[in-house]
Amino acid sequence: MNNMQLKRTIIFLILALVFQPVFAQSGKEYKLFEHNDFAFPYELNNPDKRWQLPTKLLEISGLSYIDENRLACVQDEKGNIYIYNLKNSEVEKKIDFGGAGDYEGVEIIDDDAWVLKSNGNLYEVKDYLKEELPSVVKHSTPLSKKNDSEGLAFDPVEQQLLVACKGHPFLDEVEGKEFKAVYGFSLETKQLNAIPFFLIEMDTIKYYKNYNTMAHLGVELLAYFDSSKGDISFQPSGIAIHPITGNIYVIGSVGNLLMVFTREGRMLAMIKLRSKYHAQPEGICFGPDGTLYISNEGDGGDATILKFEPKN
């Protein structure tokens, strides 16, 4: 065992000890934070419906609404869009748009599909449902592998795509371990705004997770010695905009949280997800009536899509 492996082992042992009280609570959903003028409208420990996905979607990583019977999905190894039929519980169509790669998000806008790769590249798949092979345009962005782009959402207000980054928050080498970032990509200019649409403060997340001193230190040490892991308090894996309120929902498999923000980046709620249902939450989208869908990658079990009707 080399020095780095030894350091990682020690840190993971520290984390296992200091997080034991936190992990003991993970058997139930609870609201870590809810703003006094906001009522979180879903019961995430009580899905209205559950779909078990086929093996080809075991590593589902992105989700987008098409209509009341269909969702678009991508998985993080192949350049395919899968059309999943909720009524028949099966994949009704597979659309090839690219080669093997780490594809993390998908968003349907009218007749076109947009797919996000973890290195920040965006793929515009035109007329994605037509019978012949669709036309595909690749859009490079200043984002790179270090940013680890994971979530994609359509913002109809500013006609842009929102890209949530799991890794480094900025486009340059400026220190940024205290933030996670969401960027805007203009559908008119096909350019990424170099200034983040908003930033998520990691210290705020740690505060509401109520880490003790040792837990806080363990997280900092892990991020320091293993930058590829980063801050495990929260790392975005999916993003979606509520069609009625316009609030922005960001979900993370690392940290097992769902967070709600205003367009200005003000946090409205932080919800701890129950691992029984959300083993590895990767994708999130809404139906036009506010119905929420969350996809979970298979983490030693089945990949799933869960449906949640609004309760208030």
pLDDT digits (tens, 9 = 90+) for 295-308: 999 977 889 999 99
What is the mean pLDDT of the segment spanning 22-46? 77
- Residue 255: inside a domain, yes or no? yes
- For residue 227, the model assigns a pLDDT of 56
- For residue 67, the model assigns a pLDDT of 97
Give me the chain's average pLDDT, please. 88
* Residue 169 reports pLDDT greater than 80: yes
Residue 107: pLDDT band (50, 70, 90) is very high
- Residue 219: inside a domain, yes or no? yes
C-alpha 199/C-alpha 217 separation (Å) is: 23
| Position 39, amino acid | A
Counting the structural domains of the chain, the total is 1
More confident residue, 268 or 212: 268
What backbone torsions phi and psi does residue 288 show, to the nearest 5 degrees?
A: -65, -20
More confident residue, 79 or 13: 79
- Residue 102: inside a domain, yes or no? no
- For residue 14, the model assigns a pLDDT of 53
What is the mean pLDDT of the segment spanning 279-302? 93
* Residue 165 reports pLDDT greater than 80: yes
Residue 24: pLDDT band (50, 70, 90) is very low
- For residue 295, the model assigns a pLDDT of 97
* Residue 7 reports pLDDT greater than 80: no
More confident residue, 11 or 265: 265
Q: Which of 111-125, 163-177, 181-195, 238-252 has the weakest average pLDDT?
A: 163-177
What backbone torsions phi and psi does residue 212 show, to the nearest 5 degrees?
A: -80, 175
- Residue 263: inside a domain, yes or no? yes
- For residue 174, the model assigns a pLDDT of 77
- Residue 275: inside a domain, yes or no? yes
- Residue 158: inside a domain, yes or no? yes
- For residue 209, the model assigns a pLDDT of 86
What is the mean pLDDT of the segment spanning 44-62? 95
- For residue 25, the model assigns a pLDDT of 42
* Residue 265 reports pLDDT greater than 90: yes
* Residue 188 reports pLDDT greater than 60: yes
* Residue 26 reports pLDDT greater than 60: no
Residue 220: pLDDT band (50, 70, 90) is low
- Residue 301: inside a domain, yes or no? yes
The residue segments making up the domain with residue 39 are 3-58+144-308
* Residue 218 reports pLDDT greater than 80: no
- For residue 23, the model assigns a pLDDT of 40
Residue 15: pLDDT band (50, 70, 90) is low
- Residue 16: inside a domain, yes or no? yes
* Residue 116 reports pLDDT greater than 50: yes
- For residue 27, the model assigns a pLDDT of 40
